[in-house]
Structure 1
Amino acid sequence: MINQFWVLLRPMFSIPDAWCLSRILKLFSLGLGVALLVVACSTPDSQISDRATANLNGTNCRMVEHDLGETQVCSQPQQIVALGPHILDLLLSLDMQPAGYAEVFPFHRGDSFNNPSEQIPYLGNRVTTQPLNLGDRSNPSIETLTRLQPDLILGEAGGLRQNYDLFSKIAPTLLWEQRTAKGKWQENLRQLAKALGPEERAEAAIATYNQQIAAARAEFAPVVAKYPQVLVLGANQLVDIMVVNDSSYLGEVLEGVGFELVSPPAQNKSELTTSISLETLPQLDDADLIFILGYDMSVRKQQQKATNAVLNRVIDQQTAKIQPEWQNNAIAQSLKASQEDRVFFVTYYLWNGLNGPIGAQLILDELRQLLLSPG
């Protein structure tokens, strides 16, 4: 094609001019070939673009540690995916908003969370965006995730470990484990702040948390003096009970307020929770207060579009099975806290599902309602 083009133009030029044009056309031909080669080589073999590789060519790059290794993050991520409420808690604590979100209870079927305050439990009123709905946090929609073209993917390693390589081809990915461990959210928050910048945001959020704990310690001092021993149980039914130990996130919050957590005598100090039988409960009768974290995963099957009514029902259902069982069981009712009406039913979702600074604030608020409110 280039030679034919030259044959047509050559009579219009003198020999020197023609020689120059010939050189220009050869250079143009070479440049065009290189450009076509670059385009051909950069065309992806699948619909998933390797944004993580593109990220390596960015500016202001830093290596960020997380529980599955190290990930290079460049520039300032804007399109951020939060896979789960714990991650959303950390993200919002750093004054950042999600572009995509996946839930524990993925009952909302819209393409996006267009009314997050009614569609995302506990944290939705802090979400100012309308993030794309990625579905289940343990099995998010890859198609939607790819369409979003995020700059950063954040999640928990537990249910996502097998997809880490796939996620990393879409965008730089950070995954964390053991969110319920004492001190873990602070570590995760600092690593996330390094990825998002500036890192000082993490220290500010941690300082705010410490101030809230100190203030709550003063508020609850009279209650703690009267009822110092606290037993925290997680249960959906009495055939499956776990004790939350003091090495946990909840232990950190409650002991920060001044309470002492009651644990089974044979507890392994490194375990965050200990499974017990119903018959073991009388051995824990030192507890002055009992908090039972109800969880009912069957609500995941709900298909309704989220409204306030549905959202409240999902939250209320977390204690729907365990509360009547406890109230009608002779062993449970033999405990001192039961007889003195100091057993409180709360949701596992809030008390041991957010595991971040906002979650701690919400737990303190609920403690105030349960223990400090008149009547």
Structure 2
Amino acid sequence: MPKTLALTALLLTTSLPVEAQQPSAAPALTLKHDEGTATIRKNPQRIVAMDEEALGWLFALGLGERVVGLGSTYLNPGDLSGGKVKADVLNSGFYKRGKLNGPAYVGSWTAPNFETLLALKPDLIVRLTWDGNQNYDKLSRIAPTVGYKEGGPGFWQRGLRDLARVFGKQVQAEQLIKQVADTNRANARKLQAAGAFRRYSKVVVLAPFTGGSNWVYSSTRLIPDLRAVGFRDGIQPSKLSLGVGAQVSDEALLGLDAKTLVVLFPPGAPYNGADAFLKTPVGQRLKAQSVLYVPEDFSPYSGPLVSIRNSNDLTRLILEKVK
């Protein structure tokens, strides 16, 4: 067995708790999160963000420079060089919203690269999670790991507040959460003054995927921001997938009334099926009451930075629609 693989096997099967493997100089705190409980030394210096959601929280707290490893489902081999994310990629889309110093690519949500993670020697791993997600135990043996379910109520606020405690940035976190609420209130007043709710009292966030499947987000992913500015739900699925939303039929979409605004919110490339959807009979039928909202490349779905952008950009699009 190669030496690196042997080391991986040893560390991933050891019963020694992570906190017992770490230096005891820094004070520690215990966080109860959606995957368990983690004991973390305060003010970690080497962080792994297993996805863009976690990265967004770290960016908001000004901690991007401490991210030594980044996981993503968006990145492909052409975005990498020597196992690290290329500088031009880091200077594009959502990644340029924070300071990143050439983090190593550590795989995707479902397929983390444990050898790379071990070599990075992180002192904190942060990730989004969902029912049935795997590898928490393995990640926790490498470094204290915290995970937050996207479908949980106020999940990004909890994640942000927990990280703020770890880094002593509680005041900054509360200011960010208040800024989101203030932004939504200001935009609600703009929409009310323009008569937007007289024309569209309800809203549906529709995610058209390549391949023809369409999903309605009804828990997270843009819909909380639209509710916050004053819209009611146009569709309420009875059963959600991963606590986020549900696949929707063409018949359900054709049943939407004219007072329901359809916000087309396609997933990131290569999953963006918005253009194809708009060419379908259903897309053509809904075109007059639809707006297309395309997120930045590599963007998370939620978090304070994203909510502020969502609220402002969607308000602008809707005001243009109702002129």
Q: Displacement of 1:55 after TM fit? A: 2.9
AA aligned to 1:323 is D
Question: 2:163: which partner in 1?
Answer: 192
User: Aligned pair 1:261/2:233, yes or no?
Assistant: yes
**Residue 45 to residue 272, structure 1, CA distance change in 2 (3 Å):** closer
Q: CA deviation at 1:371?
A: 2.8
2:62 corresponds to which of 92, 95, 120:
95
SS in 2 for 1:123: helix
Unaligned runs of 5+ in 2: 1-6
Q: How does 1:312-323 map onto structure 2 within 5 Å?
A: 314=269, 318-319=271-272, 321-323=273-275
Q: Does residue 257 of structure 2 align to residue 289 of structure 1?
A: no
Query: Aligned match of 1:333 in 257, 266, 284?
Result: 284
Confirm or deny that 1:357 pairs with 2:304: yes
Distance 1:75 1:365 in 2: 35
Letter in 1 for 2:214: I
Question: 1:56 offset after TM fit, Å?
Answer: 7.1
Report the secondary structure of 1:105's partner residue.
coil
Paired residues in the alignment total: 305
Distance 1:353 1:287 in 2: 29
- State the SS of the aligned residue for 1:138: coil
Cα distance, 1:189–1:294 mapped onto 2, change above 3 Å: same
Structure 2 vs 1, CA of residues 369 and 77 (structure 1 numbering), >3 Å: closer, same or farther? same
| Map of 2:142 onto structure 1 | 170
The alpha carbon displacement at 1:224 in A equals 3.3
Cα-to-partner distance string for 1:72-128 (whole Å, 9 max, x where unaligned): 112320111111011011111122122211112121222323526656642333234
1:96 counterpart letter in structure 2: L
Amino acid paired to 1:106: L
Match of 1:252 in 2: 224
Name the CA distance, whole Å, in 1 between partners of 2:102 and 2:191. 38
- Between the aligned partners of 2:60 and 2:161, the Cα distance in structure 1 is 11
In the TM superposition, residue 262 of structure 1 has moved relative to its aligned partner by 0.5
Match of 1:106 among 68, 72, 75: 75
* CA distance in structure 2 between the aligned counterparts of 1:182 and 1:351, rounded to whole angstroms: 24
How many angstroms apart in 2 are the aligned matches of 1:278 and 1:185? Answer: 31
Structure 1 length-normalised TM: 0.70
Question: Which residue is 1:370 aligned to?
Answer: 317
Kindly provide the amino acid, as one letter, of the partner of residue 364 in structure 1. Answer: S
Q: Distance in 2 between matches of 1:68 and 1:230?
A: 32
Q: 2:51 aligns with which of 84, 91, 96?
A: 84
Q: 1:269 to 1:318 in 2, by over 3 A?
A: closer
1:45–1:243 CA distance, 2 compared to 1 (3 A) = closer
In structure 2, the partner of 1:217 is 188
Q: Deviations over 1:141-163 (max 9, x none)?
A: 22221111111011123499432
Query: Which whole-Å CA distance do the structure 1 matches of 2:212 and 2:205 have between them?
Result: 16
Contact 2:221 2:301 (8 Å CA) reproduced:
no
1:70 alignment counterpart: 37
For the residues of structure 2 that align with 1:351 and 1:78, how far apart are their CA atoms? Answer: 24
How do 1:300-315 and structure 2 match up within 5 A? 314=269
2:21 to 37, 54, 61: 54
Question: Could you give the per-residue CA deviations for residues 272-298 of structure 1, whole angstroms, max 9, x where no partner exists?
Answer: 4233211222322244421122237xx
Deviation at 1:210, TM superposition (A): 1.4
Alignment RMSD (CA, Å): 3.3
1:203 matched to 2:174? The reply is yes
Aligned to 1:274: 246
Greater share of helix residues, 1 or 2? 1
Q: Distance in 2 between matches of 1:343 and 1:60?
A: 52
In the alignment, the residues of structure 1 paired with residue 224 and residue 267 of structure 2 have an alpha-carbon distance, to the nearest angstrom, of: 21
- Residue 130 of structure 1 aligns to a residue whose secondary structure is coil
Shift of 1:173: 0.9
Secondary structure at 1:104's aligned position in 2? coil
Letter in 1 for 2:158: E
Report the TM-score when normalising by structure 2.
0.80
**Deviation by residue 1:29-86 (Cα, 9 ceiling, x = unmatched):** xxxxxxxxxxxxxx99846797542237343111111111111112320111111011
For CA contacts below 8 A with separation 6 or more, give which structure has more relative contact order. Answer: 2
Q: Percent identity over the alignment? A: 23
